[in-house]
């Protein structure tokens, strides 16, 4: 009986998280939580089954639900795969999972171990390494990784890589270089994170009017955004609201 109750609770949590992340009306959460049997059944019939008629959406929904019910499963699977076959692909897959779980030291070690032989300048490995290093506050090594990427694969210096470079420069105290990188980045990418980080640095160097303009743009963009983009940008939208008081 206890096992059944625990299973139902896990299903409720999983469905509720799925509904919130997908941006479905909040009444689904109330149905799932307060009328669990009927609510979960209706959710399966009216939401999950229609999603599963579209393969890509179905795959995303299944993964989201699986992560909610068993968040460590993917990590264990990646670890087991590497134990069975120590390949670059399995190392990188595990490193990415470590990064998602905040295990930065483990991710960095795997990325560094993967930069060998024909993969010593692999763009995916270098970008993953730089990402993990920036998140860990290792801005000097991250800049080295990004410089290597720029030299070996200049075509791969796209917005994600340039954002990491701007963050690394900022972390190293090279504020003017970081400001220039953010300004250049905004010419090709206008996401909330880029605008917010740029505005925060502008504010830190005393360029308050420019910073305020960017913070206001973030809130203006938020009003026109869809639910999915708003969910992804929420931390930066909240930061902009706090900055504007």
For 73-181, the fitting CATH number among 1.10.150.20, 1.25.40.10, 3.30.1390.20, 2.60.40.10 is 1.25.40.10
Extract the tokens encoding 49: 């089954």
**What is the per-residue pLDDT for 43?**
83
Q: Look at residue 11 and tell me whether its pLDDT is greater than 90.
A: no
Has residue 59 got a pLDDT over 70?
A: no
Distance CA 89, CA 110 (A): 11
Its pTM stands at 0.70
Query: Does residue 144 surpass a pLDDT of 90?
Result: yes
Which one, of 46, 52, 40, lies nearest residue 16 by Cα?
Answer: 40
**Helix-helix angle 36-43:2-22, to 10 degrees:** 50
Q: What is the pLDDT of residue 63?
A: 52
Delimit the domains of the chain by residue range.
2-69, 73-181, 190-245
Does position 160 have pLDDT exceeding 80, yes or no?
yes
Name the percent of the chain lying above pLDDT 90.
58
- Give pLDDT, residue 47: 78
**Overall average pLDDT of the 102-131 stretch:** 94
**Percent of the chain residues topping a pLDDT of 70:** 88
Residue-level pLDDT at 233 = 85
Using CB atoms within 10 Å of the CB of residue 50, give its burial: 0 to 12 exposed, 13 to 18 middle, 19+ buried: exposed
**pLDDT of 57 over the 50 cut:** no
How buried is residue 240: exposed, middle or buried, by Cβ count under 10 Å (0-12/13-18/19+)? buried
- Comparing 48 with 136, which gets the higher pLDDT? 136
More confidently predicted of 30 and 62: 30
Instruction: Give the position of tokens 């075509």.
Output: 155
Question: What was the pLDDT predicted at 61?
Answer: 47
Residue-level pLDDT at 68: 52
* Inter-residue contact 99 to 128 (CB < 8 Å): yes
- Tell me which residue has tokens 């990415």: 96
| Cα–Cα distance for residue pair 225/73, rounded to 1 Å | 33
Which whole number is the average pLDDT over 94-102? Answer: 94
| pLDDT given for residue 205 in this prediction | 97
Q: How confident is the prediction for the chain on average, in pLDDT? A: 87
Q: What is the mean pLDDT of residues 170-178?
A: 97
Average pLDDT over residues 45-58: 62
User: Is residue 195 within 8 Å of 218, Cβ to Cβ?
Assistant: yes
Q: What is the pLDDT of residues 212-237, one digit of tens each?
A: 999 999 999 888 876 666 777 889 99
Closest CA to 132 of 161, 105, 155: 105
């Amino acid at each position: 009986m206890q096992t059944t109750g625990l299973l139902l609770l896990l299903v409720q949590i999983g469905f509720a998280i799925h509904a919130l992340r997908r941006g479905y009306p909040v009444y689904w959460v109330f149905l799932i939580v307060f009328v669990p049997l009927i609510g979960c059944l209706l959710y399966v019939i009216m939401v999950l089954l229609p999603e599963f008629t579209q393969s890509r959406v179905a795959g995303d929904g299944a993964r989201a639900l699986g992560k909610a019910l068993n968040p460590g499963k993917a990590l264990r699977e990646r670890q087991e795969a590497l134990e069975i076959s120590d390949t670059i692909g399995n190392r990188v897959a595990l490193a990415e999972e470590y990064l998602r779980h905040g295990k930065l030291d483990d991710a960095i070690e795997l990325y560094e171990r993967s930069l060998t032989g024909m993969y010593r300048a692999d763009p995916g490995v270098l970008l993953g390494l730089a990402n993990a290093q920036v998140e860990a506050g290792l801005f000097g090594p991250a800049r080295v990784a990004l410089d290597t990427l720029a030299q070996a694969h200049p075509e791969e210096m796209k917005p994600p890589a340039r954002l990491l470079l701007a963050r690394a420069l900022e972390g190293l105290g090279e504020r003017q270089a970081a400001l220039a990188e953010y300004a250049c980045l905004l010419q090709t990418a206008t996401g909330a994170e880029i605008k917010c980080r740029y505005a925060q640095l502008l504010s830190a160097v005393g360029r308050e009017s420019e910073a305020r303009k960017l913070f206001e743009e973030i809130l203006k963009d938020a009003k026109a955004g869809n639910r999915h983009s708003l969910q992804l940008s929420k931390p930066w939208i909240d930061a902009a609201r706090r900055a504007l008081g």
